[in-house]
Amino acid sequence: MPGEDGIEFLKTVRAEYPDIPFILFTGKGSETIASEAISAGVTDYLQKESGPEQYTVLANRIANAVDRYDAQRKLEQLRERTRELMYTETVEETANCAVTAADNIIGAPLSGVNLANDAETRLEPVASAATVPELFDSLPVFERDASPGSTDALAWEVVDNGESVCIDSLPASDRLTEASPAESAILHPLGDRGLFVVSSPEKDAFSETDNRLVEVLANYLEVALDRVEREQTLRTRQRRLEMLHEATRKLVRADSEQEIAEHVVDAAENVLDFSIVSVRLYDEQAGGLVPTAMSAIVPEILPERTVFTPEGRNLNWVAFEAGEVRVYDDIEELKYAVDQDTGVRSLMHLPIGEFGTIAVGDTTPGVFDETDEFLARILATAAETALQDQQQKTKLQDRRDELARQNDQLDEFASVISHDLRNPLNVAGLQLELAQDECDSGHLDAVAQAHERMDVLIEDLLTMARQGEHIGEMEPVALGELVERCWRTVDTAAATIDTVDTARIQADRNRLQQLLENLVRNAVEHGGDDVTVSVGILEGRGFYIADDGAGIEESDRKTVFETGYSTSDEGTGFGLGIVKQVVVAHGWEIAVTESADGGARFEVTGVEFVTD
């Protein structure tokens, strides 16, 4: 070349176009020139020879270089598109990404992705290139039961065999007997999911390189579709879980078993998308599972059945008795099922613990997947928890009603004591005063003492009957001050008190005073007139009251709080019973042990201290 040789021209081209194919066809070939050409980035090197054959070789070298360059360029573009497939979020977005790549990179403007429907009877379009609607009357749909020689039959043949098919000229192919706007096509299966159609209105549109690129793109598409499906399943499960969590709150707030059952049906329909739902609860009197709530469609599909019993051989009872979830893909294939011939095909029974079952059905066979069962199990567990809570609430309410009835009886008993016992005692007291005015007799003094003892007995009985194990308002109480007050209100004779702490505790002041008065009175009655009583704190646990009297035998310490227990002729046997009531009412505990001086020591624990 005048003014510039081939090597220099190569360097000039490479400076502007580093990737364009460049073949050096030179008449001055040598190892040195070849080495320089390779260093400068030559695509191929060919030395001129005599004869026309050299131009055939050159043409082949040019064609190969262009093919390699084209393949490399398409491969780079394909890499970019496959990266995009890694971040798609829906099936439609994923399929459109692959179709656009086939159109722009491979030159296939009639491409599309068809996926099988749930029944696997049709391959339905989910993405098509922009040119498809222009040449086809409607987007291609491939029916499984199509006649041989049709594009439908060929499409399903590819999916079923799992092998791709490349047809350079559809009109000339013996595999098709029907016309098509497409002239050439590559059909690549996407597993059992569907078909990737790469097609062109030109015949012989695809090279071997295009075939390989289609295979790469189809593989990436299949992987991306798998990923999107998993992610969509996870998102759907998460969304349904959140909705189910909200629905379970209604179960907990329900006020009856009927309301719980109705909430279960509502959640199964509106959250889990189940269409046929019924809840049966076990009724002991009926001897089986009684229908409690059901979806509106149940009476339209199933005949009325009142009670499922062990003798009925129904699948509902089988699941309840076994305590296991049972899923049936098609009950028509079973030897016997009570819902056969009703239109129900898929069936799932979930036990609700000891309370009953949830039955879920559908008119389509095999409709329940792992996610359906997983979420249904959560609903059944939530229902069991709600029914347990409701059962506990019912028991507590029954207990409250029973306590209220007992309290009414105790109030009546207290009124009887107050009126029927005090009135005769008052009369007897007046008569005793008259008798004492008329004569001076030691016998009358004994009668007076008996009357006083009767007053104490009646007062203790009234205290136990009217107050029992109930407490009023809790407040901070200075223990030492209250002990001193109790000491002044009890007949302590020559006894002494030793209070070693001034801590404050949270208590009902009046009931705590009853406790302290009875323990002080007990110490004086059983320890003697000169007994010493001490009150102190059990660090962080409670307080104690001890004396230096005779103490309580270890064998009697478990029975001292029983009503009527007393070792003193002057005791009523109710004092320590009242103490026990006050302790229980506060949620405390009390124990008897021996004091440091050999007397009795009562330790009250579980007490809340006020530190401010």
Fold of 468-610: Heat Shock Protein 90 (3.30.565)
Class of domain 82-233 (CATH, top level):
alpha beta
CA distance 488 to 350: 68
Positions of CATH 3.30.450.40 in the chain: 82-233, 239-378
Asked whether 384 and 355 are in contact (CB, 8 A), the reply is: yes
Asked whether 267 and 244 are in contact (CB, 8 A), the reply is: yes
Helix (H, G, I), strand (E, B) or coil at 339: coil
Place of tokens 């009853």: 514
Helix (H, G, I), strand (E, B) or coil at 87: coil
Place of tokens 């390779």: 38
CA distance 444 to 450: 10
Residue 94 has a pLDDT of 95
271, 274, 276, 282: CA torsion to nearest 10:
-60
Q: Which helix (H) or strand (E) holds 198?
A: strand 194-200
The CA angle 455-550-530, to the nearest 5 degrees, is 70
CA distance 139 to 133: 7
Of 549, 538, 554, 535, nearest to 593 by C-alpha is 554
Residue 288 has a pLDDT of 94
Q: Give pLDDT tens digits for 504-553.
A: 999 988 889 888 988 988 888 877 778 899 999 998 789 999 999 888 88
**Domain 396-463 in CATH 1.10.287:** yes
Count of Cβ atoms closer than 10 Å to residue 469 Cβ? 14
Place of tokens 């095999």: 366
Read off the DSSP letter of residue 419. I
Ranges in the chain, pLDDT < 70: 1-4, 10, 24, 27-31, 38, 44-47, 65-67, 69, 72, 403, 406-407, 409-423, 449-450, 452-454, 456-470, 500-502, 563-574
**For the sheet containing 165-167, what is the strand order?**
142-143, 122-128, 112-116, 194-200, 184-190, 165-167
Q: Which tokens go with 122?
A: 């049709």
DSSP string, 299-313: HHHS-----B-GGG-
Of 29, 2, 3, 24, nearest to 13 by C-alpha is 24
Class of domain 239-378 (CATH, top level):
alpha beta
- Helical H runs in 335-421? 370-416
**CA gyration radius for the chain?**
48
Residue 114 has a pLDDT of 96
Q: Which tokens go with 254?
A: 């329900």
Characterize the bridge pairing of strands 276-283 and 194-200: unpaired
CA distance 161 to 191: 10
Of 350, 344, 351, nearest to 366 by C-alpha is 344
Q: What is the pTM of this model?
A: 0.51
Of 264, 392, 380, nearest to 323 by C-alpha is 380
Place of tokens 């759907």: 236
